[in-house]
Amino acid sequence: MESKALIYYICRLKFYVFVMESILKEKIKEAIKSLYNSEVADSLIQIQETKKDFKGDFTLVVFPILRFSKNTPEQTGIEIGNYLIENFSVFSEYNVIKGFLNLIISDSWWVELFSKMSQVKDHCASCMVDNPQTILVEYSSPNTNKPLHLGHIRNNLLGYSLYRILSTCGHRVIKTNIVNDRGIHICKSMLAWIKFGNGETPETSGMKGDHLVGKYYVLFEKELKQQSEQLLKKGIDEETARNSAPLMLEAREMLLKWEAGDKEVFDLWTMMNSWVYKGFNETYEKLGVDFDKIYYESDTYKYGKEIVSKALNSNILYKNSDSSVWADLTSDGLDQKLLLRSDGTAVYITQDLGTACIRHEEFNFDKCIYVVGNEQNYHFQVLKAILKKMGYQWADGLIHFSYGMVELPEGRMKSREGTIVDADDLIKEMTDTAREVSLELGKLENYSNEEREEIFRQIGLGALKYFILKVDPRKNMTFNPVDSIDFNGNTGPFIQYTYARIRSVLKKATENNLKEDLMSVTSVKQTDKELQLIKILRKFPFVVSEAAVAYSPAIIANYCYDLSKEYNQFYHDHSILSDEDENIRSFRLVLSRVTSEILNSGMSLLGIEMPERM
RNA sequence: GGCCCUAUAGUUCAAUGGAUAGAAUGGAGGUUUCCUAAACCUUAGAUUCAGGUUCGAUUCCUGGUAGGGCUACCA
């Protein structure tokens, strides 16, 4: 992940590509050259949007220019302001407050711009990058011993949204998943199932497959705890007790058998995994995410072991006296890292090495973005360092998209305390709440059950997705179940509602045979609120580009909220269909239509569906 | 112990080194004969502490405090 400073640097470069900002900067440089006979470095021309409380569109921070003007901030601002007004017609006025030169762009320029925007089919078209890349996005990465939970939901939503955003910007994006389907954890579930399962299957139990396998994992841990407690009483320390308990020894043995290809173990493993995959697929489908290519650790770990042996032969790695294999990363400021156990079995990172190589051979990617929680920051440092050590230069393109943990109001989710929020339960609860709220408000009374259920689903998921995606991915977030089902304020349903109201107006316009006349855009006199709406609509492509560079769906989420808020104010203060003036009616129709299109595009980049009515 | 991350209204989130730190929610009050009141309006309320760099610091640097993570022959 690039540093924050670098991200902003890139953003700024990109922004100047866009029309108004680049014009502004050039004109200001021209003004300074003419007034003070000085060439100014770009970095000294600081342009920002004017704060709401002041009159203006763009603001030049004058302080850095003082070294050229050798004058007070006030005077310098006035001089530059006068020059711009006299020489360039896009500027209609200016004012100087303290060290800030507030420039006002003429209304006609904004209106002209909006007129063009209203004829554009794809509002993301200008986000296309000049150099498209091949990018793999890895997300979800479940273990096959437990169902998906709230943490996976954040992961999946971020990964999927990242895919939407990057591909909208013109990159070739491949959605991938690595399923951690082997290892000691799945042996634990298998062992418990053999011992206590009595042949139970998803069919006989009526349980979703991933939940059923999860049940046996929990059972294993419970039994193991009892066994370790027995040993603890004999005065053995906790760690040793856990590791030497009979169940644990059996699980280890099973892992060895699995790696040796023991048929009985392998068949059981295949069966139980197939239950889990069926369950996962249901959850993914409900969540609206999918993958282009799914990798399985059970395939890739072999290749991982191969490249480890190869590197061992080239003396890049070393073998310990107990024949475990290690990488020495002290020269990179990291530690020694185990790559193969003394019994020759692979560890977690071994398969990640293999997976990375396989992916590179398969896709020759420019970047491979791992959507994985920040608890694995060290893991990815190590992964990259080892690959580089092995001579794979492309490892520079591995990016750990390190997102923050999801916590509950009472702290971290803990399986031992039963506070894990299950993904399937959560999705269901959100839909149920949407249904409850809608019915209570008496909405959708004249629609069929199927239509209503579809809308409840969209609202429930919209609420969940927005609640999670509006937060800066890098930060830990608190998931408060009570807040998450609130559909008022800064929420997904608020934005969906704004959209649904617009769609309703547009529908009514069609019914009443009111048509858009694009000439109306330039022929009417806009109100302040209308101009404000135009100005925020214009920012959409900037926002998408910024989100792509910063890997942050949150930027788009917050934009959609701002836009909705702005539109709702407009909607409240203006009538659209019942205004007397035909041109005004038409213009407001265009304004509403473009708003709905941009809201829809923005939310679809978050993977959120928009109901036509609600 | 070592390394990393975080700290903003009661709460959940915003804020390129720039102006009077924005929203939402909760609190108090108001708006519907009119295109969906899941809306709109008014109001009170915050940068963890101590230094430093700077014309200017929530933002950058150092230290303290508090919280979280990593430091497995777990994944």
pLDDT attached to residue A411: 87
Instruction: Please give the average per-residue pLDDT across A575-592, as a whole number.
Output: 95
A478 touches strand B (CB under 7 A): yes
Strand B-proximal residues of A, range 234-273, CB below 7 A, are: none
- For CATH 3.30.1360.70, the residue range(s) in chain A are 4-105
Are the C-beta atoms of A494 and A487 separated by less than 8 Å?
yes
Q: Kindly indicate the confidence band of residue A19, based on its pLDDT and cuts at 50, 70 and 90.
A: low
Lowest-confidence segment of A27-41, A352-366, A590-604 by average pLDDT: A27-41
Q: What is the ipTM of this complex?
A: 0.96
Task: Please check the confidence at residue A345 and state whether its pLDDT lies above 90.
Answer: no
Burial of A449 (0-12, 13-18, 19+ CB in 10 A): exposed
Q: Determine the CATH number of domain A4-105.
A: 3.30.1360.70
Strand B within 7 A of A497 CB: yes
pLDDT of residue A232: 83
Beta carbons within 8 Å of A121's beta carbon, 6+ residues apart: none
The per-residue pLDDT for A1 is: 33
A425 CA to B52 C1', in Å? 52
Subset of residues 400-429 in chain A with CB less than 7 angstroms from any atom in strand B: 405, 409, 411-412
A98 touches strand B (CB under 7 A): yes
Domain(s) labelled CATH 1.10.730.10 in chain A stretch across 423-605
Distance in angstroms: CA A160, C1' B17 = 34
Longest dimension (CA), chain A: 92
Mean pLDDT of A282-294: 98
Among A89-103, A172-186, A227-241, A283-297, which stretch is predicted with the lowest mean pLDDT?
A227-241
- What pLDDT is recorded for position A458? 98
Lowest-confidence segment of A127-141, A248-262, A307-321 by average pLDDT? A248-262
A381 touches strand B (CB under 7 A): no
Q: Is the CB of A543 under 7 A from strand B?
A: no
CA A573 – C1' B43 distance (Å)?
21
> Is residue A316 exposed (0-12), middle (13-18) or buried (19+ Cβ within 10 Å)?
middle
Confidence grade of residue A418 (pLDDT, cut at 50, 70, 90): confident
The pLDDT of residue A7 is 40
CA angle A297, A214, A240 (to 5 degrees): 80
Q: Name A425's Cβ contacts closer than 8 Å, sequence gap at least 6.
A: none
Nearest DNA or RNA nucleotide to A342 (CA to C1')? B73
pLDDT, one tens digit per residue, over A515-529 is: 999 899 999 999 999
C-alpha dihedral, A368 to A372 to A377 to A381, nearest 10°: -20
Say whether the CB atom of A59 is under 7 angstroms from strand B: yes
pLDDT recorded at residue A18: 53
Report d(CA A321, CA A524) in Å as an integer: 84
User: pLDDT tens-digit profile of A534-558?
Assistant: 999 999 999 999 999 999 999 999 9
Residue A3's pLDDT band (cuts 50, 70, 90): very low
Whole-number Å distance between alpha carbons of A117 and A399 = 35
Measured CA A561 to C1' B15 distance, in angstroms: 15
| Three-state secondary structure call for residue A16 | coil
The whole-number Å distance from A476's CA to B6's C1' is: 8
Residue A11 reports pLDDT greater than 50: no
Output phi, psi for A354, to 5 deg: -60, -45
The architecture that CATH gives domain A423-605 is Orthogonal Bundle (1.10)
pLDDT in tens, A118-164: 998 899 988 999 999 999 999 999 999 999 999 999 999 999 999 99
CA-to-C1' distance for A450 and B22, Å?
A: 41
Q: Which residues contact A546 (CB under 8 A, 6 or more apart)?
A: A11, A14, A552, A555
| Residue the block writes with tokens 């310990």 | A320
A5 vs A135 pLDDT, higher one: A135
Q: Which nucleotide is closest, CA of A473 to its C1'?
A: B13
pLDDT digits (tens, 9 = 90+) for A84-123: 999 988 899 999 998 999 999 999 989 988 998 999 889 9
Per-residue pLDDT band at A394 (split at 50, 70, 90): very high
- Measured from the CB, is A55 under 7 Å from any atom of strand B? no
Q: What is the mean pLDDT of residues A309-316?
A: 95
pLDDT higher than 90, residue A43: no
SS3 call for A335: coil
Which range, of A162-166, A235-239, A332-336, A424-428, averages the lowest pLDDT? A235-239
Residue nearest to nucleotide B39 (CA to C1'): A568
Within 7 Å: CB of A481 and strand B?
no
CA distance linking residue A150 with residue A423, whole number of Å: 6
Average pLDDT over residues A450-465: 97
Does at least one atom of strand B sit less than 7 Å from the CB of A554?
Answer: yes
Round to a whole number and report the distance in Å from the CA of A296 to the C1' of B18: 51
Whether pLDDT at A5 is above 80 = no
> For residue A598, what pLDDT band results from cuts at 50, 70 and 90?
very high
pLDDT of A10 > 50? The answer is: no
Q: What is the mean predicted confidence (pLDDT) over A370-375?
A: 96
Query: In the structure, what pLDDT confidence band is assigned to residue A2 with cuts at 50, 70 and 90?
Result: very low
What's A382-438 look like in SS3? HHHHHHHHCCCHHHHHEEEEEECCEEECCEECCCCCCCCCEHHHHHHHHHHHHHHHH
